[in-house]
Structure 1
């Protein structure tokens, strides 16, 4: 029997995410993959994997993310702006949420839900975003998960350049 499934495809600056929901909005498949600037190949890989699992089902697909508009045009799919998509998801799945902070590869977004919805986005600097975290991990010769391990055994709390990723690169290099 065919099921109606909803597929979300989030094309970000560093990763592609795919999620498949059943008609009760339960996640039945999800995948997160870095695209290393080969977005089309990564999308093809994720969609092919999902197709292999759900080829007998009817699906709807919605695209979001910083790279989503061009992908939605390329594939002829509907697009929803990422902050709107996140807000709708939070209101549906975690309705008592006060605030959401989302760190993307190259931006940061915050949504306040108390007293009406207020949204802010930092799109001018990658400091504090996924790309910044990756850079700091690389400077410290580890990965993002390794930063957690390093933090567990800290001896000194170093000041950081909370407003500028470029300055923080220099500070981190001098701490090593």
Structure 2
């Protein structure tokens, strides 16, 4: 058996996928809590237990994967390039792809020539921001999603960074605003940040692919995108 293995190490999570003749035979996704070595070993050992005799080719990606790939002698593919190739292969009808990660956000335009944009050092509107806002509401991201499913009102909240967002959210909490409404407003703020910070005025039209952990696991966040 020959496997094609992809290992992505992001700012907050690690993922592994194994394919055989274009079919997925194994996939797993975990938070690494900055203990990247043990997280990768855990993913790898799990795969080896399932396919102990397999031969494999391996490629790495992710914001935390470059140095690890150099240490391990594994080929590295930059994550935006990998994302672009995957979307072109699996969803060629896509006009625009938006991806939210643990600490970065990306937008890729596929029409009129490929254009790739990524956020700067600020993690506003990403998974780290969601973690911080969920903690402010004394819940976790899944709880934030559950709260947002019962919203009635959207409030303006900054998502450029957690500090600015907190200065908007804390007065709402003090005034007795519903946590459900604040949760949905946080998701709307992330949408606003993504569009204003990455699109920078360029229209997002046609078929849009939404990618990355927050958009995969938080359906109420997906629903906020127009």
* Structure 1 equivalent of residue 27 of structure 2: 30
**Per-residue CA distance 1:97-133 (angstroms, 9 max, x = gap):** 1111111111101101111111000022111000001
Structure 2, unpaired ranges of 5+: 174-226
Give the conservation status (yes or no) of the 8 Å contact 1:106–1:129. yes
Cα distance, 1:84 vs. partner? 0.3
Instruction: Kindly indicate whether residue 131 of structure 2 is the aligned counterpart of residue 134 of structure 1.
Output: yes
Could you tell me how far apart the structure 2 residues matched to 1:42 and 1:136 are? 25
Instruction: Kindly indicate whether residue 84 of structure 2 is the aligned counterpart of residue 67 of structure 1.
Output: no
- Measured on the aligned residues, the alpha-carbon RMSD in Å equals 1.2
* Structure 2 equivalent of residue 165 of structure 1: 162
Could you tell me how far apart the structure 2 residues matched to 1:136 and 1:159 are? 14
Could you tell me how far apart the structure 2 residues matched to 1:91 and 1:58 are? 27
Could you tell me how far apart the structure 2 residues matched to 1:77 and 1:149 are? 40
Paired residue total: 173
**Per-residue CA distance 1:59-97 (angstroms, 9 max, x = gap):** 111000001111101211000000000111111111111
Question: Which is helix-richer, 1 or 2?
Answer: 2
Instruction: Kindly indicate whether residue 143 of structure 2 is the aligned counterpart of residue 146 of structure 1.
Output: yes
Structure 1, unpaired ranges of 5+: none
* Structure 2 equivalent of residue 5 of structure 1: 3
Q: Where in structure 2 are the equivalents of 1:86-165 lying within 5 Å?
A: 86-165=83-162
Could you tell me how far apart the structure 2 residues matched to 1:168 and 1:139 are? 10
* Structure 2 equivalent of residue 16 of structure 1: 14
Cα distance, 1:164 vs. partner? 3.2
Q: Which has the higher contact order (CA 8 A, sep 6+)?
A: 2
Q: TM-score, normalised by structure 2?
A: 0.74
